[in-house]
């Protein structure tokens, strides 16, 4: 089946641009719960009109409901879902696993797509999402051709791949930078794009968290062969001309006629010092970086924009239809039109008359009823059955054609709402807050534990260090941590998990949906770690962990109100990772062979952000540690977690001493988002 071209629509005008330029589907959103809340977006009436417009032209509509949702918003969310179901759209795009369970309970027939915010980058992750009822998975943007192909060969679920548009520096769904800089959460659709600000790596360009825009258009025929189902264009914040240009370019690329001139137009309409295909081709490094320059801005001049605006200025006949007209003696003329498996029949009011001079021919009738300009249709086949010796005016035939085309358009755009059960998934009663709470320690390296003289309940160490961890700490209190992302290293992670099982390890920390599946398949107890974005009661229940670390974007009041039987925890101390990225920021200044997997970048204020690499990805840490050791009682959880990352053994021991002695921190620190939360 031919892959679809999926276009962004941040406004009604962009819907016209997408459809009239040839998109097969659009994705858009209402005014709440979507990952581009700063786009123009759509009122309910605009959504109705847009869905009708698209469906009449054979174009699918996917509704983005792809943010994390607070418990306090569930009533509003439920009402929003009920409204969406009346629109008859073709699928919902979701990030929050709790929201997915709500949708499945309320509307079992509504197709759901897994947002790229769910960080699906492995076969295990895709299979887990498929098992949870997702019809389609939007893959992480950082994947290579070989990694996409491997997943395609081993699953039947639909796969959607971003083929053009902006690249986030951070793996989608894992970024905390905007939230920690100004409470504007990317997971809540309000990213302020701090990564586009100046950040300096050693030897870098000064914009070392900014990537060029992704463009894989040259590879679309190859990706079609791989079996990718949907080619997605990023850009709900972009102008309609961008939508028209990118959709047109995708069409040409699929046809094998994409030209350098079109690529130049795309760059000029919007780019950041050009394009990159570094993730798909596995050629990561300095060439992937780029920032928006004055030259990039001025390149989108009026003449170029007018050229692409002209593509959607008028109706584009894009729907093939079949026409069958009957003109019989003594009977009103009848026209039947069929398209997209729908048929309408219209009967005229004027009877044909005997011809006084020249009789009407079938060819004349066919030519007249084929003129469908100004409608979404073009005549693929036309049949005319005309009795001999009759005449019927051109005006009557034209009116019949117009009425029939309008009836067919109305039939195609008729709303087909989804049934709504109104049922919500069940939740346990409100939590009881017990004291004293347990204390868990997490270390990035076992060497950090050398000076520890502290009574703890559980310790979390990297799965790569399983042998040493078991030798020192045994298995009863040990949790082995899988990497938050493991692009292309799934087989290696499986091997590590099986080795850990053989050592007698009982519990594993997971940071994504793929690691969850791999650990469950091998019988481990599950600790939901950083990266799982557990933000509400429904998500906690849906994830299915044995104990869970909550999202660090939650306020203390939100934590206290959670309903869940799952033991929950919050981070009490740590330099939190603001980003995890596959293209290391240090690579904009030096190659990996000259790096010992650690370094730092500096922002425009002189703050240093530590960078550490693990399992083929780089984490960028906040320059100030979170510390809530003196306010632990405010966080109503079952356990508190000390999250050690860049500290040495002596520093880690000192932090624990401060906590034991109820002392104030003697270092620069932040209270994180416990007090203010995120918007």
- Do residues 110 and 103 lie in contact, with contact meaning Cβ atoms separated by under 8 Å? yes
Is residue 1 very low, low, confident or very high in pLDDT (cuts 50, 70, 90)?
A: confident
Measured distance CA(236)–CA(215) in Å, rounded: 16
Does pTM surpass 0.75?
Answer: yes
Measured distance CA(298)–CA(271) in Å, rounded: 11
At the fourth CATH level, the homologous superfamily of domain 438-575+626-670 is Aldolase class I (3.20.20.70)
Q: Give tens-digit pLDDT for 60-94.
A: 999 999 999 999 999 999 999 999 999 999 999 99
Q: Give the number of other CB atoms < 10 A from CB of residue 172.
A: 24
Q: Give residue for tokens 């073709």.
A: 90
B/e letters for 118-151, b = 16+ CB within 10 Å, e = fewer, are bbbbbbbbbbbbbebebebbbbbbbbbbebbbbb
Q: Give tens-digit pLDDT for 576-624.
A: 999 999 999 998 888 777 787 899 999 999 999 999 999 999 999 999 9
Q: Give residue for tokens 């825009």.
A: 213
- Do residues 300 and 236 lie in contact, with contact meaning Cβ atoms separated by under 8 Å? no
Cα dist from 198 to 206, 290, 419, 528, whole Å? 5, 11, 50, 34
Q: Which of 613, 582, 578, 587 is nearest to 487 (CA)?
A: 582
Q: Give tens-digit pLDDT for 336-390.
A: 999 999 999 999 999 999 998 899 999 999 999 999 999 999 999 999 999 999 9
Instruction: Domain ranges for the chain, please list them.
Output: 4-167+213-259, 319-413, 438-575+626-670
What interhelical angle do 123-131 and 513-521 show, nearest 10? Answer: 80
* % of the chain at pLDDT higher than 70: 100
Measured distance CA(632)–CA(641) in Å, rounded: 11
Cα dist from 485 to 142, 444, 493, 583, whole Å? 11, 15, 10, 13
pLDDT at 78: 97
Burial of 302 (0-12, 13-18, 19+ CB in 10 A): exposed
- For 278, phi and psi rounded to 5 degrees? -60, -35
Does 435 score more than 80 pLDDT?
A: no
**Structure token pair of residue 392:** 């019927």
Q: Give tens-digit pLDDT for 167-219.
A: 999 999 999 999 999 999 999 999 999 999 999 999 999 999 999 999 999 99
CA 51, 52, 54, 58 torsion: positive or negative?
A: positive
**Structure token pair of residue 459:** 């310790």
- Do residues 342 and 322 lie in contact, with contact meaning Cβ atoms separated by under 8 Å? no
Within this chain, domains 4-167+213-259 and 438-575+626-670 share the same CATH topology: yes
Preceding peptide of 638 cis, ω within 30°? no
At the fourth CATH level, the homologous superfamily of domain 4-167+213-259 is Aldolase class I (3.20.20.70)
Q: Give tens-digit pLDDT for 141-163.
A: 999 999 999 999 999 999 999 99
State the average pLDDT over residues 421-425: 96
Rg (CA), the chain: 29
State the average pLDDT over residues 559-572: 96
Q: Give tens-digit pLDDT for 484-506.
A: 999 999 999 999 999 999 999 99
- Strand 598-603, strand 617-621: pairing: unpaired
Is residue 515 very low, low, confident or very high in pLDDT (cuts 50, 70, 90)?
A: very high
Measured distance CA(407)–CA(401) in Å, rounded: 10
Does 40 score more than 80 pLDDT?
A: no
**Structure token pair of residue 657:** 């001493």
Measured distance CA(636)–CA(221) in Å, rounded: 54
Measured distance CA(35)–CA(29) in Å, rounded: 9
Helices (H), 273-393: 294-299, 302-309, 362-369
Concatenate the DSSP letters of all residues of 473-494 into one string.
H-SSSEEEEPPS--TT-HHHHH
pLDDT at 576: 97
Residues 6+ apart with CB under 8 A from 33: 65, 66, 67, 69, 73, 77, 80, 99, 189
């Amino acid at each position: 089946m031919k892959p679809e071209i999926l276009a962004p629509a941040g406004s009604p005008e962009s819907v016209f641009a997408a459809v009239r330029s040839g998109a097969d589907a659009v994705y858009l959103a209402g005014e709440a719960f979507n990952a581009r809340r700063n786009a123009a977006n759509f009122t309910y009436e605009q959504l109705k009109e847009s869905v009708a417009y698209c469906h009449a032209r054979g174009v699918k509509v996917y509704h983005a409901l792809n943010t994390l949702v607070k418990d306090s918003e569930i009533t509003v969310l439920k009402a929003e879902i009920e409204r969406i179901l009346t629109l008859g759209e073709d699928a919902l795009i979701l990030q929050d696993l709790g929201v997915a369970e709500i949708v499945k309970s309320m509307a079992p027939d509504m197709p759901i797509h897994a947002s790229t915010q769910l960080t699906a980058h492995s076969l295990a992750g895709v299979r887990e999402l498929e098992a949870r009822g997702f019809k389609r998975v939007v893959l992480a943007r950082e994947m290579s051709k070989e990694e996409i192909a491997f997943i395609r060969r081993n699953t039947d679920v639909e796969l959607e791949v971003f083929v053009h548009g902006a690249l986030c520096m951070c793996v989608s769904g894992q970024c905390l930078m905007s939230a920690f800089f100004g409470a504007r959460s990317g997971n809540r659709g309000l990213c302020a794009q701090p990564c586009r600000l100046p950040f300096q790596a050693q030897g870098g360009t000064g914009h070392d968290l900014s990537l060029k825009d992704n463009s894989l258009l040259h590879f679309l025929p190859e990706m079609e062969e791989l079996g990718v189902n949907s080619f997605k264009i990023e850009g709900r914040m972009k102008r309609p001309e961008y939508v028209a240009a990118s959709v047109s370019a995708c069409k040409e690329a699929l046809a094998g006629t994409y030209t350098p001139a079109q690529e130049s137009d795309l760059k000029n309409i919007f780019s950041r010092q050009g394009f990159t295909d570094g993730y798909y081709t596995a050629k990561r490094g300095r060439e992937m970086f780029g920032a928006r320059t004055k030259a990039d801005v001025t390149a989108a001049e009026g003449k170029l924009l007018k050229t692409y605006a002209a593509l959607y200025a008028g109706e584009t006949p894009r729907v093939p239809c079949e026409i069958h007209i009957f003109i019989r003696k003594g009977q009103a003329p009848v026209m039947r039109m069929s398209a997209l498996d729908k048929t309408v029949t219209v009967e005229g009011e004027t009877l044909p008359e005997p011809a006084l001079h020249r009789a009407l021919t079938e060819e004349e009738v066919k030519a007249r009823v084929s003129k469908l300009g100004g409608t979404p249709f073009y005549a693929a086949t036309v049949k005319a059955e005309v009795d001999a010796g009759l005449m019927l005016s051109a005006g009557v035939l034209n009116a019949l054609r117009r009425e029939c085309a309008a009836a067919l358009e109305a039939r195609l755009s008729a709303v087909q709402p989804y049934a709504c059960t109104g049922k919500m998934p069940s939740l346990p009663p409100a939590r009881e807050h017990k004291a004293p709470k347990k204390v868990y320690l997490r270390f990035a390296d076992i060497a950090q534990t050398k000076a520890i003289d502290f009574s703890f309940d559980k310790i979390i160490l990297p799965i790569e260090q399983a042998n040493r961890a078991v030798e020192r700490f045994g298995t009863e209190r040990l949790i082995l941590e899988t990497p938050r992302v493991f692009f292309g290293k799934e087989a290696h992670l499986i091997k590590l998990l099986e080795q850990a099982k053989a050592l007698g390890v009982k519990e594993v920390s997971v940071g994504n949906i793929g690691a969850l599946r791999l650990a469950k398949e091998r019988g481990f107890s599950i600790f939901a770690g950083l990266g799982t974005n557990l933000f509400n009661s429904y998500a906690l229940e849906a994830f299915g962990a044995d104990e869970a670390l909550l999202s660090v974007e939650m306020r203390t009041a939100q934590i206290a109100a959670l309903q869940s039987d799952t033991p929950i925890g919050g981070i009490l101390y740590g330099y939190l990772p603001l980003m995890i990225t596959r293209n290391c920021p240090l690579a904009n200044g030096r190659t990996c062979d000259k790096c010992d997997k650690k370094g730092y970048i500096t922002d425009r204020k002189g703050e240093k952000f530590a960078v550490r690499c693990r399992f083929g990805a780089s984490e960028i840490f906040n320059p100030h540690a979170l510390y809530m050791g003196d306010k632990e009682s405010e966080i109503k959880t079952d356990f508190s977690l000390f999250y050690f990352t860049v500290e040495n053994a002596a520093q880690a021991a000192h932090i624990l001493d401060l906590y034991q002695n109820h002392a104030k921190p003697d270092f620069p620190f932040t209270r994180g988002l416990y007090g203010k939360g995120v918007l």
